[in-house]
């Protein structure tokens, strides 16, 4: 008999009060809460905190392309000091990260593409396009000493993928629910960020992973509801603001280049 999966909290539980508490925002959050419960009941891949990679056949091909992705990352990191902190792009992240220790190089975020960044990383873009239902993709860069405190994602309709690209020796790990995982260079880790998780780089060197969110495989009717929510999210103030912040950073970054 399989072990029972741990229970999830929901994105609307213990949520930080919205700075824009409009009727539309409150209604959207109520819909999200109902959808999260539907997603748990209708998942095609179960609801574990951390997945076996065999569940996703395309993982092997992504890992095969890791050297190409790493080569493009090397070029990106030539201007590491100019890359934006994640909270400079997604201001809601300030609830868990306020320093300069978590940087990013976005390719796509919920329908908003960075064409200049994609052009700089064509092999990476070609590799991640093979992931079904990709929503977000970026290089996630932890500077030495960075620690993200316990938190959870805003919605369980997506799963998260990390592929280790630069993983130095030392105390470097991510905890998802009660499971502590260690990144490996060229290896994929798939987990459900709807579970509480925290991550840290307690070493004296930079850690980088390819960070991807993709649509969770669901059965009807959850699949349809999830599609609607993920596509409507593009019009929320959070996504629109993030897109504007990134476009402004991109303008400055490439003007210098």
**CATH code: domain of residue 180:** 2.60.120.330
Task: Please indicate, yes or no, if residue 38 is contained in any of the structural domains.
Answer: yes
Reported pTM? 0.91
Q: Over the stretch 195-235, which tens digit does the pLDDT of each residue have?
A: 999 999 999 999 999 999 999 999 999 999 999 999 988 87
Tokens (6 digits) for 75 = 């070029």
Round to whole Å and give the CA distance between 118 and 125. Answer: 6
Residue-number span of the structural domain to which 228 is assigned: 23-256
Q: Which residues of the chain have pLDDT under 70?
A: 1-22, 24-25, 257
- Listed in sequence order, the DSSP H helices in the chain are 23-41, 59-64, 66-76, 86-89, 115-120, 122-128, 222-232, 237-256
For the CA atoms of 107, 109, 114, 118, what is the dihedral angle to 10 degrees? 20
CA distance linking residue 88 with residue 137, whole number of Å = 17
Domain count of the fold of the chain = 1
Residue 145 lies in a domain: yes
39 is a domain residue: yes
């Amino acid at each position: 008999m399989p072990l029972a999966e741990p229970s999830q909290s929901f994105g609307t539980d213990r949520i930080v009060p919205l700075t824009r508490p409009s009727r539309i925002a409150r209604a959207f959050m109520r819909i999200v809460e109902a959808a999260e419960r539907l997603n748990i009941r209708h998942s095609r891949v179960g609801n574990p905190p951390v997945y076996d990679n065999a569940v996703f056949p395309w993982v092997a091909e992504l890992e095969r392309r890791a050297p190409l992705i790493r080569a493009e990352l090397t070029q990106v990191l030539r201007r590491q000091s100019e890359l934006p902190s994640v909270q400079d792009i997604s201001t809601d992240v300030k609830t868990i990260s306020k320093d300069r220790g978590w940087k990013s190089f976005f390719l796509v975020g919920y329908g908003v593409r960075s064409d200049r960044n994609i052009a700089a990383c064509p092999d990476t873009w070609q590799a991640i396009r093979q992931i079904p239902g990709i929503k977000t993709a970026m290089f996630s860069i932890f500077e030495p000493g960075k620690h993200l405190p316990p938190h959870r994602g805003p919605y369980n309709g997506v799963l998260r993928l990390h592929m280790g690209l630069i993983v130095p020796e030392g105390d470097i790990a991510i905890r998802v629910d009660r499971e502590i995982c260690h990144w490996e260079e060229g290896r994929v880790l798939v987990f459900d960020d709807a579970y509480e998780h925290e991550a840290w780089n307690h070493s004296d060197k930079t850690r980088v992973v390819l960070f991807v969110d993709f649509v969770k495989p669901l059965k009807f009717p959850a699949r349809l509801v999830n599609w609607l929510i993920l596509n409507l999210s593009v019009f929320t103030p959070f996504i629109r603001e993030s897109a504007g912040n990134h476009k402004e950073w991109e303008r400055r970054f490439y003007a210098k280049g």
